[in-house]
Structure 1
Amino acid sequence: MGWGIDGTRHWGADWCVITALVLRPPLRPGALWQDEEWPEAEKAEKLARGAALKWASGVFYRPEKLEGLGHYRRRETQRNSSIQSRLKSTVQSYLEGVSAGLEQLRSAAQEVQSVCQELGTARWALLDSAEHLQGLQQMRELMEEHVQLASVVQVLPQIFSVHEVFSHTLQLLHGQHLLEAHVELMMVEQLRDDILSQLHLRGLSSAQTAVLSYFSGLQELNESLAKQLWDIVGSSLRLVREDPVLFVTAVRIIEREEKIDDALLLEATFLPPGRPKGWRQKFYQVLQDSMTGARFRAPCPDAEGPGLARHLAALQKDIVSELRVVKDLMVQCVPAHYNILSVCTATFHQALTSHLQEILREDLDKQGLFLLLEWALRVYHSPEMMGHPDLLPEVDVSGLGPLMSPELVDQTERRYVVKVKVSDVFEWMQRTLEVEFKEWFREEEPETDHQGFFQSALPAIVMQMLNENIQVASLITDSLQQKIYNMALEELEAFLGRSVSPSHLCPSSQTLGPQPGILGWCWRSAVGHPVLIHRRAQTQLLCSPQPLCLQLPSRKWLSGSQLVGSMCEVIDKYAKDFSRVRKPVCTLLLAESELLVASQYLRALLQRKMVCKSREERGQLCHRLLQDATQLRELFCGLGLERSQQSLEAVFALRELICLKDPALLSLEVVGFITKYPDASDEHISTLLDIRGDVSKEVRHVVLEMMAQHPQVLPEGYRPIFSTILVPVPELPFCLRKGKCA
C-alpha cells in the first residue's frame, strides 16, 4: 500500500506485484521464471500497472505535485527493500523447517529398519522354544488338578458331615429353632452349590447327578422348613396378637432367602436347583389365602334377606377387626417395603368384589338386593367399616376402584326395581283397586268432602305407598331413586287405566317424588282413555244418544226434527254428574264427552251416507249441519268447555266442503281440509264427495290425486277424530271379459 496526498494509504502497484510473486507456484529445480508458463504473473503485472497508474494519476494530477516525485521514489524504494527482506526471511525459515523434517524422516526410517531386524530375531527364538512350551502346558494342567484336589481335601470334612448336619437340622426344625436350622441349611446348600458350580464350569454334567443324589436330603429339609413357615404365616393374625416372635422369625428367614435369590439372579452364571425359591411371593399368597379363604369360600347365604344381612354384618366386623390388627401390630413385624397394610386392604377389597358377584348370581329377593346395594355403596365406605377411625388415615380404598362396577350397580338396581314392581307395587295396587271397585259400586253414593265433591282414600294410600318406596331408594343412590320414581310413574299411568275413579287420583299425583310437573304429566297420560269419565255418567252417555244417532241422516232429520235437541237434553242431564268432580278433571271429562258426541255424529253421517239429489237438497243439508253443530257447540260452551277445546269444529269444516258451489274448486278445499284434519283418509273424502251428489269422475280423480301429492303427518298433540270412523268400502264395478265395465 502507498500513502495518498490526503494522508490515507492506497494499494500500490508494488504490493500487487508482491502478491503475484507469493501466489506463484514454486520453480522446478534448475528452472527460471521466464521458462515457466505462468498466466497469473502476466495478469498480476497488468493489475499492478493499472493500480500504479491510478495511484500516480491521483497523486500527480497537478504540475506542482511533481516536485515531490523524488521523495515518493525514495520512500517506495525503501518500502520495497523492506518487503523483499521480509520475503527472504520467510522463505529462509520455510526452507529450514523442510530440512529439519527431512532429517527426522530419515532418522525414523533407520529406526524402523532396526526394529524389523529385532522382530525377526525374536521370531526365530520363539520357534526354537515351542517344544519347551508344550512341557509348560502339561505342568499347568497338573497344577490345576492339584488345586482342585486341594480344594476337595479342604471340603472333605464338610462333605463327610453332611448327613450329620441333616439330622441336626431336622431336630432343630422339630424344636421350632427355625433360625439355627436355617443357618445350617444355608451352609449345606452353599457347599452343594459351590460343587455344582465347579462341575458346571468344567462341563462335568455326569458328576452333577451324583452330587444331587448325595445332597438329596436338602429337599426334605426345605419342604419341612417351608411347611412350618407357611403354617406360621397362615396364623399370623393370631400370632402377632399373642406372641409375634415366631412370625418375625419366619419373616427373617424369608428375607434371607430373597437376598440369596437376588444375588444368584444377578450373577446369572449358574442357577442351582430349586432357585429362585420366591418365598416372598409365597408369603403374600399364604397370607391372602388365610385372610380370605374360609369366609369367602363358604356357600352363598340365604337369598331371602335375614341370612344375607347376618353374613354381611359378620364380614364387616371381621374385616375391620383384622385390618386393625394388621395396622397396629403386623406392620411392626415386617420390613417397610412389604407394604403389608396396603396388601391386606387390597386383598379384602378384591375378595369382596368377587364375593358380591357370586352372591348376585343367586335369585335374591328385593330385600337381599337392597342390602347388597346399601352395603357396597354406603356401608363399605362409611365410618362403620373402611372409614373407621381406628383405620384412618393409613387404610385408603379410594384408589382400589368401586366395590361394584357401575355396570353391575345399574344391573342390580334394575333387578331391585323389577322386584319392587312385581312384589309390592303391582300386587298392592291391584288389591287396593279391587277394594275401591267394591266401594264405588255400592248402592249408596261415594263419600263427599265439605264442598260436595266425591272423594276417596285411594289417592292418599297409593301416593303414600309409592313415596315410601322412593324414599327408601333415596337411601342408596340418586340413580336408584330415579329408577323407582320412573317405575312409579309407569305403574301410576297403568293404574289410571284400571281405576274407576282416577279423577280423585290425578290431583294427588303432584305429591309423588321430588320433581316438578307431575300434575301435567298425569293429565297428558290420561288423554285418550274413555275410562277416565265417571263410570255412571260415561255408561249412560255412551248408550243414551245412540238410538237418536241412528236416525242420522234421514229425510225426517233433514226437514227439521228435534233430534239434536233431544241429544242435547240427554248430554246435559248426564254431564251434571261431572259437577261432583274437581277441576281440571271436570274439564277433561267434558272434552272427552264432546269428542265422543262429535265422533258419533260424524260416524252416523259418513256411514249412512245420504246423497243429495239437487242443489236445494244440498243447501238444506248444509243448513241442518250448521244448526246441529251450533246447538251442540253452545251446549258444551254452557257446560264450561271452551270452543278451542271442542272437536265439533270438524262438522263446520265438513259442511264447507258440501256447501261449495263450484265443484272445480274442491281440490283446493280438500287440501285445506286434510291439512287441518290429517287423519282424514281417501275413503272419508270420497264419502263426502258422494254426499254432495254433483261430483264427476274427473273432479273426483283430481281431488284424490291432489291428496296423494300432499301426504299428511299427524302433528304432536293432535286429537284424532276421523281415524276412529270406519266408512263402507265402495263396491267395485262389475266387468265382463273383453267388454266394457257396467
Structure 2
Amino acid sequence: MRKKLKKIFKWHHKKNKNPAVPTFEENLQACRFVDAGKQLITREHRLFELKKDGIGSKMKLVEEEEDSGARLAKDYEDWLESVMQTLENSLDLQSPEVLKEAVQAILQEEEQDMRWEGFQDKERPPWRPRRCKQSHDALLERLVQRRMEETQLDSRTEIRSSLQQSIICKVKRLKEDLLKIATWVSGCYPEQMNVCQFYATLYHKTFSASLREVTEYTLCDEDCILLLQLVNQDYPNILNGRIIKEVIDHSKLDPLLPEDKIAPLEQQFLTIEEREVRKCLHKILDREESAWKEGELPQLRDQVFCCDQAIDVIQCLHKHVECAQKVLGDETKAQRITCQMRHFLTDYKAFHAKAMKSKQTNTEAVLMVNLSCLIQCRDYITNKAHLFPEDVKTDCLSLLATMIKGSHQHFTSNMLKNLKDLYRKVGSSEWLNDSEGVCEELLAELDRHIQKFNNLDKICCQELLGGMHKAFLAEFVRKMMKQKIKLSDKTQQQMAASSLCINSERIHTYFTAAGSNMDWLKDILPNLAGLLKLQDPDTIKLELASLVTLYPDLSECHISAWLRLKGNLSPSDLKEIRESITFSKDQLRETQDSLQFGKSFFSIVMIK
C-alpha cells in the first residue's frame, strides 16, 4: 500500500529551487488556480501519508492531523469558491486566461480523483472523490438558466405582447452567448470536452422548456406565428450561422418543440393564412365584378389592357405560400393554402359565365382582360406546380382550361358569325372563278373584326388568334366539303387545287402576321389540294394513308365529302378507297393513341 501511495504522489515531492515560491493565498489571490490546486493536493498527500505512516507521537499526529485537516478543508473551500465564481462569470470575463486557469484546475482535480479510484473508502481521504467536473457541469446548467431568465428587452425593439418580448429577448441572449462560447470560451477548454456542444445542449434544453410552457396556453394569432417562425426559421438560422455551425452539431439536439406541441400551432397558423387568402381573393373578384356591372372599361397601359386582377391574385397567393413555407419550414404543409385557388376559380367561373351572357357595352373588353387573367393564372400554376397538391393543381387547370376555351369560343363564334355571308362563296362557282377575290373579301372582313384584339397582351393574343386561325380554316374546309361544285375533269381539279394553295398561303400569311403561331396549319389546304390533283385511285389510297397518319382525326366522312368534289371518280372507286382507309386507321389505332400523337384539326370540321 505504501509503495502504491508513493507512486501516485511522487510528482508532488519535487523540490522547487526558487526560494520565492508564492503561498497558497497569493496564488489564489492572483487567480493561479492550477498552482493553488497543486499546493492543496500536495498537502492532501502529506496529511494522508502522515496518517498512514504514524510519524511522531500519537498526540502530535492527532494535533497535526486536526490542524492540517481543518486548514485544508478551509483552503479547499476558498479555492473551490473562487474557481466556481470564475466559471459562473465565464461569459462576462474580460480575460480568457483566468477562465483557462479555472478549467485546468477542475481537470487537475478530476485527475486526482482518478488516482484514488482503485482504493477502498477507508484507504483514501474521506473528501475523495471531490467530483469537481460534476460541480462544473451543474454550475453551467444553473448559469444558463439564470442568464435566460434574466434577459431584458431592448428599448429600441417594437414588440406588442409580453410573450413576444420574452421570447425575442431569450433568442437574442441565446445567440449572443453561443457566439461568445464559439469565439473565445471554447479556446479555454480542451477539445475533448466539446464545451460548445455542451453549452448548446444546455441553452437548447432551457429554451425548449420555456417554449413548452408557453404552448400550454391558447396563443393569439401573432404569438402563434412568432413561435412557429422561431422554431422553423429563426432558431435554425442561428444554429446554422457561419461561426456557430462550425462548433455545434445541431442534428444531435432534440426538436425545440415536440410534434404534439407544434401540430396545433401549425393548424392555427394555416387556418389564419387560409382565412387571409380567401378574404383577399374574394375582394379581388368583388372589385372586378362591381367594375363590370358599373360599365367600367379596363385601363390601357402602353396600348395594352392592364390585367391587375391577375397580378393581384398571383401576388396574394404566392406571398402567403412563401410566408407559410418559411414559418412552417415545410413546402408540403404550405400547399394547404393553395387549395384556396380552387375555391376562387370556382367563383370566378360563375362570374365569367355571367359576363359572357351579358350584352353590356363593356363586356367584350372585360372578357378580353379576363382571358389575360386566366392565362396568367394557368401559367403560374403550371410553373409553380410544386406549390399545389396534385388534385388541386388538376382541378385548377381544368377550371382554367374550361374558362379559356369558353372565351375563345365566344370570340371565335362572333368572328364566324360576322363572316357567315362571305363564307357562302367558298367552294361555289364564284370561288372557282375568282378564288383570290373571295379570299381577299374574307380576310378584309376578318381584319375589321380582330382589330379590337390589338389591345390584348402578346401571349393572350397569340393563343386567341391561334384558335381563330384554326377555326377560320376549319370553316373554310367545311364549306368546300359541302360540294356546291363538281370538279368533273382533271383541268378543273388542278385549277381548284392551285386556288386552294394560293388561298392557304394568303390565309397563313395574314394570321401569322397578326400573331398566330399555329405554323402546322399551313399544310392543311395544300395536302387536301394534292388529293384533287391525283387521278389514279391507288395513288389516292397511298396519299390518304399518309394523311391519316398526319391527321388521325380525318374521318371517313371527311374523306368521302372531299373526294366527292372529284366528279370523275366512280362509286366503286370511292368505296374501294374508303375501305382501304378504314383498314389503315384500324392499324394506326393499334399502335398509338391517334389524337394524342397527331395534330387535331378535322374534329372541329363539322359535316353532316
Normalising by structure 2, we get a TM-score of 0.48
Normalising by structure 1, we get a TM-score of 0.41
Greater relative contact order structure (CA < 8 Å, 6+ sep): 2
